[in-house]
Structure 1
Amino acid sequence: MAVYAVGHKVPDSDSIVGAIALAHLKNQIGEDVIPSRLGEPSPETQFILDKFGYEAPLLKMSYAGDSLYIVDHSDVALAPDDVDQATLLGIVDHHKLGDLTSGTPLECWIRPVGCSNTVIKMMYDFHNVEIPKDIAGMMLCAILSDTVVFKSPTCTTADIRCVEVLAEIAGIEDYKALGMEMFEVKSAVLGTPMRDLVMRDFKNFNMNGNKIGIGQLEVLDLAIFDEMKPDLEAEIAKLRDEEGQHAVFLLLTDIMKEGSELLIIGDEALAEKAFGHTPVEGKIWLEGVLSRKKQVVPPLEKALA
């Protein structure tokens, strides 16, 4: 029976790098684990892979009959479609506990930190396994991405300390400059098909029986979206028609201004109840909101409770 490490659907840098880093760790302690992915790398993730000389993990959508380590999520909606036909060996995550279950005992490393790769760094320390230079560099980039170069409210002292140690291992002197270089890649959205942009970092959530879709695009200057917003709104409306969500939200996040504009398709009253602002033409500005995990999902879940 093959064993895989895999992140969530529509994988971000944390999911793909996390699968690579976790598989390497497991291989070093005597388990034969293959890193895999549930989708194509984003431009940012491809930048990270290219910079450190790594191929993207195996693209594999079906895991029936296999064994799995799940990375960067614990929700059925984000897992492989046939996860119930796989043997779950472990979960490594930094989100709230989701609805994945197992029929056998499993290993769980879940910590309230800014990135799954911070947790994986702790696992390397626990097992006293040395992190290769290239993997350390990728892990550092994943943490910088998830914590928005330490600006996100999800960032903890553990994330910062892990980046500092990983930078030493990887030989990176100015990791903040590297983080900004990554966000410049993220900000290069012109000419990209609308569906690709919407799905670049998109997740569906089950909130009290309601399917809620939330995407996020992080850029250095929100003005880049000025002429694109009508097309983005039309695309998330089309997505909702196709997938049947109760509502679809798209966060346009300005990491320099440290805030997000929320585009709303569906239940505008839900957004008003969750965030305390009345939508204007299907939009709300959310001052200080950078994190979907900590600042968007919880108020929506509370509003739907």
Structure 2
Amino acid sequence: MSVYAVGHKVPDSDSIVGAIALAYLKNQIGEEVIPARLGELSPETQFILDKFGFEAPELKLSYAGDSLYIVDHSDIALAPDDVAQATILGIVDHHKLGDLTSDTPLECWIRPVGCSNTVIKMMYDFHNVEIPKEIAGMMLCAILSDTVIFKSPTCTTADIRCVEVLAEIAGIEDYKTLGMDMFKVKSAVLNTPMRDLVMRDFKNFNMNGTKIGIGQLEVIDLSIFDEMKADLEAEIALLKQEEGQHSVLLLLTDIMKEGSELLIVGDDDGLAEKAFGKATVDGKVWLDGVLSRKKQVVPPLEKAFA
């Protein structure tokens, strides 16, 4: 029986880097843990791995009979499909507590911070393990990504302090420029298939028995989507038809204007008004100041379905 560290389905940079960083830490304290992933890499994550000389973790979709450290989530909908046949040894996360359960006691590091890699940095400190330069650089990038270079309302002083310390370890003097380089990679959406864009950072949620899909695309200039919004709307409508969600939402987030345009296809035309107090016009609505799916989109939607 093998032990793996793995993030959520449709993995983002936090999930991939978190699996690598956690596995390295565990191996340093005497546990043999293998980093793994549940999906393909985003362009941003590939940029991070390439910059610091790392290969992608093993693509592994089945974990029956294995043991797991779950990274960056605690929801069944985001976990491996056969997670019930695996043994969960621990959870490292920065979201609300989800519906994963275990038959045995487990290690839990869950903190209200902007990124799972901030929590993993705390774990390194707790175990007094030195972080290699390259892993520190990747962890720094994951935190900058999840906190939108500290602009997200999820960002805490702990995230900022961790980035400062990790930058020293990695020898990175201007980490904000590195963060902008990452978001330029994220903004390179032209000539990408619509389904790939919709699924680049997509999660399904169970909201009081109702399946809701929410994707997010973060760019430095929202006008890049002007010629493709109709195609994106058609794609999320097709996705809803295929997967049977009540609603599928796609956040087009402008990190410079600090807000998001929400595209929504669903069974309730009034959902946006119920959740956000603003009605959609032709299936779209601008949400000023909304950057975080976790903190600013999921909670009001859950209240709407309570």
Q: CA deviation at 1:268?
A: 2.6
1:133-152 matches, within 5 Å, as 133-152=133-152
User: Which residue of structure 1 aligns with residue 293 of structure 2?
Assistant: 292
User: Which residue of structure 1 aligns with residue 116 of structure 2?
Assistant: 116
Seq. identity, %: 88
For 1:197, the aligned partner's letter is: L
SS in 2 for 1:249: strand
Mapped partners of 2:80, 2:271: distance in 1: 29
Residue 279 of structure 2 corresponds to residue 278 of structure 1: yes
The count of aligned residue pairs is 305
For 1:248, the aligned partner's letter is: V
Q: CA deviation at 1:272?
A: 1.1
Deviations 1:10-64 (A, max 9, x none): 0000000000000000000000000000001100000000000000000000000
Q: CA deviation at 1:127?
A: 0.1
SS in 1 for 2:135: helix
User: Which residue of structure 1 aligns with residue 78 of structure 2?
Assistant: 78
Mapped partners of 1:22, 1:192: distance in 2: 32
Mapped partners of 2:64, 2:237: distance in 1: 33
1:28-47 matches, within 5 Å, as 28-47=28-47
User: Which residue of structure 1 aligns with residue 93 of structure 2?
Assistant: 93
User: Which residue of structure 2 aligns with residue 192 of structure 1?
Assistant: 192
User: Which residue of structure 1 aligns with residue 25 of structure 2?
Assistant: 25
Q: CA deviation at 1:278?
A: 1.0
1:167-186 matches, within 5 Å, as 167-186=167-186
Deviations 1:177-196 (A, max 9, x none): 00000000000000000000
User: Which residue of structure 2 aligns with residue 53 of structure 1?
Assistant: 53
- Which TM-score applies when normalising by structure 2? 0.99
- Which TM-score applies when normalising by structure 1? 1.00
SS in 2 for 1:35: strand
User: Which residue of structure 2 aligns with residue 163 of structure 1?
Assistant: 163
Q: CA deviation at 1:209?
A: 0.3
Mapped partners of 1:75, 1:88: distance in 2: 13
Mapped partners of 1:12, 1:256: distance in 2: 21
Mapped partners of 1:33, 1:269: distance in 2: 47
Q: CA deviation at 1:271?
A: 1.5
Deviations 1:86-120 (A, max 9, x none): 00000000000000000000000000000000000
Mapped partners of 2:269, 2:52: distance in 1: 43
User: Which residue of structure 2 aligns with residue 249 of structure 1?
Assistant: 249
Deviations 1:155-192 (A, max 9, x none): 00000000000000000000000000000000000000
Deviations 1:242-278 (A, max 9, x none): 0000000000000000000000101231111000011
For 1:43, the aligned partner's letter is: P
RMSD: 0.3
Mapped partners of 2:57, 2:187: distance in 1: 24
User: Which residue of structure 2 aligns with residue 2 of structure 1?
Assistant: 2
Residue 222 of structure 2 corresponds to residue 219 of structure 1: no
For 2:287, the aligned partner's letter is: L
User: Which residue of structure 1 aligns with residue 270 of structure 2?
Assistant: 269
Mapped partners of 2:273, 2:36: distance in 1: 39
Deviations 1:111-148 (A, max 9, x none): 00000000000000000000000000000000000000
SS in 2 for 1:90: strand
SS in 1 for 2:21: helix
SS in 1 for 2:18: helix
For 2:169, the aligned partner's letter is: I
User: Which residue of structure 2 aligns with residue 131 of structure 1?
Assistant: 131
